[in-house]
Structure 1
């Protein structure tokens, strides 16, 4: 795991707080002895509690308590830190001070910040084994290694990353997606990949994924335009157009050999001989300029046979056939072709291959656009984006490190309570498919449903005034609101004040009382209102005790608390 311990003297609005992110041990740095002291936690969580490869920690606290600030410190290790480096700008930066302990490849590192700058860096001399060593000697270093960490801010005002491009998840983007359902190739591709996930399959797998290609895309090869004959309508040229689309797709792959170094370095690494499968670009363009019929187009397509087989595992004829049967509607007046696919259809594999290739060669133009219909809601988009992000980052981390740290800021926002209830399990199930990775999920949340899936050691309150916070795992929402989110009342403020006003008033009329009795959902409060109606006086404490005496111990404790709130 990456984040192990963070001791803050001052950081933004956080003062004198220590956070332990390891679920088994507590880590403290002794600068005088240049040692890290490791102690077993009293509330240690078994290493296999969540899953074989993932642990979860959640930050809770009121708005403005500093949860995002803590995330910001943890995210610092995503870059190399050096002595004298400023960790943040701003007028208060010179007052910031903290000590952060993290791990990388079984070595521990210490970052000490004073007056807003990195003042000390240390590394353990030996590989760390917590079950054997409890005092770890350190030596000073000049810079830290880069940790495989990734920050995902899923709320509406922050940024999430899709491939190499940023997409702002604000209201305008939500509106665009709901009404046009258009997104970048990367977003659509990873969305399509996670569509088989258990949470998404039943709700969303019936959606149509579409690929709309305009005439200006499938008839244009560099500076060469292929003209369709004018003697027949496009309806009768369906196979011809499918051949041109296949040809344009394969030509795009060949052209990217010179323009997309990263893609081809990856391909060459897996298959060094793949470069011999690529036809020469100059001779291709000359042959393309000679296309005059479906037969001549298909003949040229056969020159791409090795490349087609490599990327699509089929011969060119089968690629054209797949495109032919994926076309579900007539051509538009301007020649746009619409190909449709759904994850629950049999033509799923060809579409997935095409989408995958388009993502890899980075050909993201408006003439070739992928969409999803019907559009997803904002909450659905966020769930898909979250799962796709986890899938992508876990896959990408394989080549870099065995350990990965994912910082998820309010991943449950905009989700229906039923999806929130399943969120932790769903993320664990998805990440369990990457068994070779060791993954640390550090999330923030205001949601008691999410917290009820986590043991107490996994829930960190960003609030220096809290003492004993009580248990969380499997707890009811009322207790979690009070002890983990510091909400003293779980009834709406208006309802609470209205009921209190009625109970305290000597002049309340019967109509108002009867309305509240009919509308109020809490039995103890209803009983108090009924007594008010009968006696026109406040309910006496002894009457409450008589009523509570007929309840079980569990009901008595819960309802007495509700009455105190009302």
Structure 2
């Protein structure tokens, strides 16, 4: 089934995009009649498209300058229902104020999108069905709506209408289950820029499911880091050899220094630590970080645990302390380790049992300051299991593990990373990430963003395990190459399509919509698949234009088009050249003004000095054609001045000869007298 987004109409959403039509399909054309409030759908001949892959049905590029509304379109289509209503309110005012007589909702904001399901079946979703009065007047719809329609192509009208949730595409599935969105957006690195905190998905969804995959998971990143350092094919796609390191470390809130005096002072003053030791171990054992293992080594105290075992035990102690710091509980079982040299397994199991006891107590009576659940217990178990699978040689000390990914013989960190991801939701009141931290080091920003994109898509697809094979994924990528080297941008379409063909992605079909500033992507798609968004300089409104460039277009030609660049070089350089041209033009006018007069010797020397200075400025220009053209012009002025100088010298010599001749003649005449 070729499900796809085919059309978007934005009437007014409180932004600069108004009464704007954006087509997304090569197989259908949607015509909106604003006067009649009706739509007409026509079938089109899609022509000969590109075979990007069996599971890739279409790629569209959304291009335009900053502020033209590309991200707005992506947000409107891709955000979850709850986030969309917050970022794109349905009314000018957040509430409906009541003046005692009538409701005053303010100005309505409205838009709608059209999807093709199968055959003659389509779906329309949007705000305020009044935009489609001819279609929706027969049913009562709420302000945000999603409906399924059957369209009669012979009579050019809607022949049937259902609520989307009631429409079935086959005997077993509802229409809204057969298509979904994955929306990736590069997270800004600007600390002062306030961005909306988006939900990864809606709890209750009345239209197609949307997954926001802008925030990534540890397991997905870890998986792609391993591929980037161990798979030759992936390294060739990246065209880069990375040397990344994973660091796993404890973030104890009770110990802030390894200094001996500070640790001892904290030990004597921390009554809560003493109480926790008594609660857990009945005074038979110390918490591992008081004093820290490093201090124990300095004091030559025996440490019966390896560094890795210390990390696990201290993590469990810190986890329990975070739960109990404002509550109270006692271990039901007395701490009584066996008389062996290393009692790690006993101590770990004792702490896990204590944690499980807290889970049971919380289920019975909710008096603890932090809610602890069975899921937290399962996460703690998996974190311990995951750390145990890491070879001892990667432990730097009793608080830090460092793993050069290139040295890994196998991907032994997956269990640990999956456990950390299980705690990623903000709904968890017990945040394991506040106790144990994961960092990825020695990556360039470009490498990090490159891996982040593919890891985000991988994790998003993993979350869609409830979808069936062959379902359509509308993949929205908002400026995914904005942090890439130009060569990565040039390779982007190829690398993306190659990745989506791999087993982990092959389950779904993909309709891909990419917003970009980069002209490097345009030469990989047909010009029919490029949607140009431009702004009107007078009022800033957005209009949709056809692209003059497309598949196999020369990148230099695309760059020089004013849609992307107003000049082929930087603005500072442009200003430099413009000022230089003004100086040369002024020199030319002055030279022309002196052609009919004999310049004085001082004026000629001034011209020559000015030409020499201008030559030095011109020689700073790196572009050979511009530089040589300006130098030729200056040389012409130079020879013109030289010619004037020679002519002036010749005229002076002629006058001197005439004066000499006249003086001699005058002398002869005087002699004759």
User: Where on the TM-score scale, by shorter chain, does this alignment land: which range?
Assistant: 0.5 to 0.7
Structure 2 counterpart SS, 1:495: helix
Q: Give the corresponding residue for 1:63.
A: 66
Residue of 433, 447, 451 corresponding to 1:384: 451
Q: How does 1:26-425 map to 2 (within 5 A)?
A: 26-28=29-31, 37-41=41-45, 45-46=49-50, 48-49=51-52, 52-53=55-56, 55-75=58-78, 78=81, 87=90, 89=92, 94=107, 96-103=109-116, 108-111=122-125, 113=127, 118=143, 121-125=146-150, 137-141=159-163, 145=176, 148-154=180-186, 155-156=188-189, 157=193, 159=195, 187-195=217-225, 196-197=227-228, 198=234, 203=240, 205-213=242-250, 224=280, 227=286, 233=297, 237=303, 239-243=305-309, 245=311, 286=333, 290=337, 294-298=341-345, 320=388, 322-327=390-395, 329-331=396-398, 337-346=399-408, 348-361=410-423, 363-374=431-442, 376-400=443-467, 402-425=471-494
Measure the CA separation in 2 of the matches of 1:384 and 1:493: 33
Residue of 621, 629, 637 corresponding to 1:528: 629
Say whether the 8 Å CA contact 2:519–2:564 is kept in structure 1.
Answer: no
Measure the CA separation in 1 of the matches of 2:450 and 2:279: 42
TM-score (norm 2): 0.57
Structure 1: stretches of 5+ with no match in the other structure: 166-184, 255-281, 305-309, 332-336, 538-566
| Cα 1:352–1:222 shift into 2, 3 Å | farther
Structure 2 counterpart SS, 1:440: strand
Measure the CA separation in 1 of the matches of 2:71 and 2:27: 24
Measure the CA separation in 2 of the matches of 1:325 and 1:448: 48
Structure 2: stretches of 5+ with no match in the other structure: 95-104, 132-141, 167-175, 202-214, 229-233, 256-272, 321-328, 353-377, 425-430, 535-541, 589-609, 639-673
| Cα 1:63–1:408 shift into 2, 3 Å | same
Structure 1 counterpart SS, 2:513: strand
Structure with max Cα Rg: 2
Structure 2 counterpart SS, 1:519: coil
| Cα 1:122–1:470 shift into 2, 3 Å | same
Q: Give the corresponding residue for 2:20.
A: 17
| Cα 1:357–1:96 shift into 2, 3 Å | closer
Say whether the 8 Å CA contact 2:26–2:46 is kept in structure 1.
Answer: no
Structure 1 counterpart SS, 2:224: helix
Structure 2 counterpart SS, 1:210: strand
| Cα 1:346–1:525 shift into 2, 3 Å | closer
Matched, 1:428 2:497: yes
Measure the CA separation in 1 of the matches of 2:587 and 2:115: 64
Per mean C-alpha deviation after superposition, the further-off stretch among 456-465 and 148-157 is 148-157
Residue of 553, 556, 565 corresponding to 1:487: 565
Cα deviation 1:299-353 (Å, max 9, x = unaligned): 576899xxxxx999x9x999757442321x244xxxxx21122332235433232
Say whether the 8 Å CA contact 1:102–1:109 is kept in structure 2.
Answer: yes
Measure the CA separation in 2 of the matches of 1:382 and 1:435: 23
Measure the CA separation in 1 of the matches of 2:296 and 2:118: 65
Cα deviation 1:411-459 (Å, max 9, x = unaligned): 2222222222223333323332211112233222111112232221221
C-alpha displacement of 1:21: 1.4
Number of residue-to-residue matches in the alignment = 475
Relative contact order (alpha carbons < 8 A, sep ≥ 6): 1 or 2 greater? 1
Measure the CA separation in 2 of the matches of 1:296 and 1:109: 64
Measure the CA separation in 1 of the matches of 2:112 and 2:568: 37
Measure the CA separation in 2 of the matches of 1:326 and 1:286: 35
Measure the CA separation in 1 of the matches of 2:243 and 2:254: 28
C-alpha displacement of 1:393: 1.0
